[in-house]
Copies of this chain bind each other. A is one copy, B any other.
């Protein structure tokens, strides 16, 4: 079968770095191999949608690769021992499955079930729809890669979040805003890429972890990108939409709010203007003509100099609703970002607090948005710092659909040179109790829609991929891409579970490799925090490019990002009584904790309070000694990461090993620079000696 051979041979040419967690290595254990061969040898995919075609391809490649079976081909339904279909296509009762089972899962869910008909073992992968089948297939393949038994399976699973989105910040010139893994896989030289194979492989990676939506261009929509929704580009974008469609992902575009002026020759983009409304309606119709399942628009408006409704004395609801009305009849949605603040702040102005901006801008508009608008809110009130409290907008918006925004790209977190596994951080955010409707009002319950019964909601994230061979610069940063998908599918998974899965899928099932890499991943966020900005203060980073230390780099800037360190102490007073009053944006339980110097958790201390260097932490250390200690410790921890990694030499492909080792070396240099600059800065300012007499400059 030529197609099979072509697929397989293409696949075999790819490097492990490129294949990521879809490596499909030969099954190592012989007994499992036999088991898998028996069951998976004859599979049948019952269904003929685009998605089923993708499933067939994936199975072909995966089974071939894992078993090194020479012939992997679809069998007849009657002979099959692995059957993939959906609840609409098979008679469930034939296989002992109660149809009512499927009413407990949503339409992206699936059942994986072992079935014995006396003669032989059969595995059923039954989606509620074809999308469920796709996710079930990937789930099943993960089991095989983990060498788990498939003799007695009964897995019923469906995603907790309805919107599971990826935001590319790719520009049409091929660059990526905050991209650390090469150039765009979508665009080059002001054109859409011709390498659609790579786009397809990205779709596979995303689908394999359950991502179901993607916006392919930067939220900052520049001149050329504004034309994406015109004939100049839309047909080629439709081709890309088609690739993603076959893997269950809807395509979104970031748009320029001023499009009616820039594209339409209108004099205004006023959201209440009749011509503007018509213009967007016609524009939506044009788009849906070529992309019938187009997802909708992602919008950054009135933020960091991008145009928006403020120019016309309108508010964000006016702006979002304009677009929502245009998309409504086609089933499209508007993802409207809440990253709105005064980016021309005067550093002398101690009253304005950037942390308060999103809440102040959007809370008063709660309930004013159309039902096909989602507000997208960054996890913290600032901007993806190593440690931020959860944005107080979560829970505050009770009648407005919400999407939580994470950043997989490590903009402030080491830029995929430094190791920083982000799932533990994301977990903390999702598990955070807002107390919006009393105890248990966690962020995950807000964004999955259950707390306030949102119509649509979920999670989005800024991607970390580019056209580097390994997609993510640092191979270990693949774990963040993987982990993001897995976590938002099921926020109850632990970071540890997710990390283990990824390590096993990526590097195989060697115990020592698993143990070392797992500990490296799980420790990495804390390590990065140790040598950068512990106690919640953030920033202190090089302006513009955001890599490496610069303690005062943002201190006299217009970005609203200050630490207020003086000779006596540091931190931002955000209390109600003497500070900016930011703490008042939280529900009572959190407000009281954060507002209180004694109750505030150490890790957020400097975010909420300005304290003397001699303030004693809950740990018993003074603030200044904690700074010295954590910075010295952080560097030592990086050295131990290097030791752990070095011990794995020869246990993986050389390219993978060296990629990470090379990045770890960069991380060590960076960590030392952070240690010495931060310690020296605070030593010179405070005059307080390190208790342990270590070298400070």
List residues of A whose CB falls within 8 A of some B CB.
Answer: 347-348, 350, 549-552, 556, 565-568, 673, 676-677, 680-681, 683-687, 697
Contact = CB atoms under 8 A, between A and B. Distances in A.
A549 to B, nearest CB: 7
A687 to B, nearest CB: 5
B566 A687 contact: yes
Top 4 closest A-B pairs, CB basis? A566-B684, A552-B552, A348-B697, A567-B567
A686 B685 CA distance: 8
A518 to B, nearest CB: 35
A551 B697 CA distance: 18
Contacts of A350: 697
Nearest to A677: B556
A567 B686 contact: yes
Contacts of A676: 348
A580 to B, nearest CB: 16
Given A556-B677, A677-B556, A687 B347 contact: no
A347 B348 CA distance: 30
A348 B683 CA distance: 14
Given A350-B697, A550-B552, 20 more contacts: A348-B676, A348-B697, A549-B556, A551-B552, A552-B552, A552-B681, A556-B673, A556-B677, A565-B684, A566-B684, A566-B685, A566-B687, A567-B567, A567-B684, A567-B685, A567-B686, A567-B687, A568-B687, A684-B685, A685-B685
A489 B532 CA distance: 56
Nearest to A347: B697
A361 B550 CA distance: 32
Contacts of A348: 676, 697
A539 to B, nearest CB: 14
Nearest to A695: B348
A353 B221 CA distance: 47
13 contacts: A550-B556, A551-B552, A552-B552, A552-B681, A556-B680, A556-B681, A565-B684, A566-B684, A566-B687, A567-B685, A567-B686, A684-B685, A685-B685
Contacts of A680: 556
Nearest to A549: B556
A351 to B, nearest CB: 12
A546 to B, nearest CB: 15
Nearest to A557: B550
Contacts of A681: 552, 556
Contacts of A673: 556
Contacts of A697: 347-348, 350
A569 to B, nearest CB: 10
A537 to B, nearest CB: 15
Contacts of A567: 567, 684-687
Contacts of A551: 552
Contacts of A683: 566
Contacts of A565: 684
A556 B347 CA distance: 22
Contacts of A550: 552, 556
Nearest to A556: B677
Interface-central residue, A348, A551, A565, A683, by most chain B CB under 10 Å: A348
Contacts of A686: 567
